[in-house]
Amino acid sequence: MTVLSVEMEPPRPTIRILKHESCVAMIKEEKAAYFGFDQDTYFGKYRQGQFQLNGCRVVWDELDA
């Protein structure tokens, strides 16, 4: 996985990653979930996924959701 950024703000750290094939597998296994759906003027539709890892929130974006 490729880490894009890390935010150490409370209540828990957030790690932003590029979408990876393991993210799709975790969604199918219900170990991760989509939590945000939106549309951007430039990028179009997108959704955000997340899972928990050692007390951190790991999130990624998917375009054309």
Task: Parse the chain into domains and list their residue ranges.
Answer: 3-63
pTM of the model: 0.81
As a whole-number percent, the residues of the chain with pLDDT over 70 amount to 98
Residue 5 scores a pLDDT above 80: yes
What count of other Cβ atoms lies within 10 Å of the Cβ of residue 58?
20
Calpha distance 8→1 (Å, rounded): 19
- pLDDT for the residue numbered 1: 87
pLDDT at 54: 94
Q: Could you tell me if 49 and 27 are in contact, meaning their C-beta atoms sit under 8 angstroms apart?
A: yes
CA 39 to CA 24: how far, in whole Å? 21
Which residue type does 56 have?
C
Across the range 7-19, mean pLDDT stands at 92
pLDDT tens by residue, 29-43: 999 999 877 777 777
